[in-house]
Amino acid sequence: MSVQVLGRRSSWIRWGLLGGVCLFVWGCLAARSAAGDETSPQASEPEAQAAQTAQGRELFTREWLPNDPRAHGGDGLGPVFNDTSCVACHNQGGIGGSGPGSKNVDVLSAFRNEVMEAHVIPHDTSVTESIFRGLFGLTTPPRPPAPKAKRPNSDHEELAKLHPGFRTARSIVLHKFGTDGEYQPWRVKLIGHNDFMRGSDEFVQHLVIRISPDSAGNTNAPQAAARATAEFERQQARGLLEMRDFFTESVRGNFRLLTSKRNPTALFGAGLIDRIRDEELEAAAARKHKDFPGVSGRVSRLPNGKIGRFGWKGQTASLFDFAMTACAVELGLHVPDHPQAGLPHKADYKAPGLDMTQEECVSLVAYLSSLPAPRERISTHPAEAEMIRAGRTLFHSVGCAACHVPNLGNVEGIYSDLLLHDLGPELGDTGNYGVFVPESPGAPSAEPEEIPQFTTAVAEFETPPAEPKDNAPATQLEWRTPPLWGLRDSAPYLHDGRAHTIEEAIALHGGEADESSLRYFRLSHQERQQFMAFLKSLVAPEG
């Protein structure tokens, strides 16, 4: 073979090798580029978010079981719980809505059982006062309590024998169910029967006389105003009589245990509420109401300095903490940094492991953040649209919008300032409540709350807090303004669900809202229809 032929072959081989190398490199770069496209954060972000939200929805709607295989080494549902899923208590108007009265949480508060006076109602007291004093066994107008001597922790130690949660708190969650067969008999023994309304038949007969339509006949006020006042009091009376179903009492040794309730709140638009800036809430608290000088809301400042946005008392700062506390307390799920509620009659029981991982907790909160905010229903019928418009104007003119502000920060249609307002003793209830959790080794012990005397319960409600208001947690009289968006689909109303209708809820607004409540009942029949047409245009989000 000639040298020339060999040279040509060598050249072909070199070019062939070079081409092969180029093809190989091009193929590697193409493959790398394709792989990069598949894992690119921009390309995968929507899919990752959708997967995270789907997992959160599954966790929200899941029916948990004791020793659930879905748990991660934990004990699943319980050992104490109020229901078996999140959606069981949050479903009115759609997944994530509020809950009916049957889903109320029981809160147990302790009072020292000292001298109780006879059950007498002075005839010259108002209807509201007579009902409230009758319910609480009081015979004299509320008065500031005498200075209380500091007691040692013996009260809490004695109460802890009834329920270990009383070791540090005077109000605790009393769970409805337990996975242990001994829990239900123990619970019944603790709170006894529903014997709160002593002499209730005689009491109700007295009220029927006091709240009859003729009760306004002795007033010198104009007839229309007198009728409005009488109806206002009748609505108050109806709501206050519901307290027989929402407050129960039992006597245990040196203490009286009073059970009250909390109604599950709607979670629609919770992500928007979570993102409202502190500055917006502080600005709302600083706002003055020239036409309603009695309205003076304040931010709920938590012990850690954060501002509360969630809960009836504004006791929780973030949606994440709100959701995790609900998992731990309402379902008995052991989650990171939020231990599950303990078994009160077997105080040494501890969770064997986690029920949800941190990733799952984040997914659950991501789903809650995605829940849409309710919007006002826009009517296409001219006459109805005009009624709603007129009702919205009346809502502002009677003063409701002083607290239920339409927009807060960038959140439109919320109808809340998320501030704490004094609503009077008729709605008064414990300012905060805890839950029993088995102590971990080395955990710091909380400062025990003083146990008040039962006979000064109402007086205590009417006594302003000793601490500066801006730095104190919610008092017994204060409640966070609940958003009104979705109102139509969120009955029953108020913190314990005692108001079956919107008008009952309005009538029971006392304290700062007392004047606005009375103004509503002074509206004409047509104006009240317009007012209700507006409120009932605030509906749950579709789908």
Strand 80-81 and strand 177-178: the pairing is: antiparallel
Alpha-carbon distance of 374 to 276, in angstroms, equals 17
Asked if residue 129 has pLDDT above 70, the reply is: no
Does 408 or 542 have the greater pLDDT score? 408
Does 435 or 232 have the greater pLDDT score? 435
Alpha-carbon distance of 166 to 300, in angstroms, equals 24
| pLDDT in the model for residue 431 | 79
Q: How open is the CA angle 335-83-50, to the nearest 5 degrees?
A: 55
**Average of per-residue pLDDT values in the chain:** 80
Instruction: Answer yes or no: are the C-beta atoms of 160 and 166 closer than 8 Å.
Output: yes
Provide the pLDDT confidence category of residue 537 given band limits of 50, 70 and 90: very high
Question: 408 has which bridge partners?
Answer: 411
Nearest to 312 by CA among 369, 243, 242, 265: 265
Percent of the chain with pLDDT over 70: 71
Alpha-carbon distance of 444 to 97, in angstroms, equals 37
Nearest to 82 by CA among 257, 346, 315, 262: 262
| pLDDT in the model for residue 458 | 41
What phi and psi values does residue 394 have, to the nearest 5 degrees? Answer: -65, -35
Q: 90-123 pLDDT, tens per residue?
A: 999 999 999 999 999 999 999 888 644 433 434 4
Nearest to 240 by CA among 538, 504, 537, 542: 504
| pLDDT in the model for residue 405 | 98
Token couple for 432: 């905060």
Prediction pTM value: 0.80
| pLDDT in the model for residue 454 | 54
Direct distance between the N- and C-terminal alpha carbons of the chain, in angstroms, rounded to an integer: 84
Provide the pLDDT confidence category of residue 232 given band limits of 50, 70 and 90: confident
Provide the pLDDT confidence category of residue 305 given band limits of 50, 70 and 90: very high
The burial class, CB within 10 Å (0-12 / 13-18 / 19+), for 179 is: middle
Instruction: Answer yes or no: are the C-beta atoms of 301 and 471 closer than 8 Å.
Output: yes
Q: 40-79 pLDDT, tens per residue?
A: 445 478 899 999 999 999 999 999 999 999 999 999 999 9
Alpha-carbon distance of 437 to 360, in angstroms, equals 22
| pLDDT in the model for residue 21 | 46
Strand 248-252 and strand 105-112: the pairing is: unpaired
| pLDDT in the model for residue 113 | 80
Q: 436-459 pLDDT, tens per residue?
A: 888 644 333 445 667 766 543 444
Token couple for 429: 């209830």
Asked if residue 535 has pLDDT above 50, the reply is: yes
Can you give the residue ranges of every domain in the chain?
49-539
What phi and psi values does residue 82 have, to the nearest 5 degrees? Answer: -105, -20
Rounding to the nearest 10 degrees, give the CA dihedral for residues 182, 183, 184, 189. Answer: 90
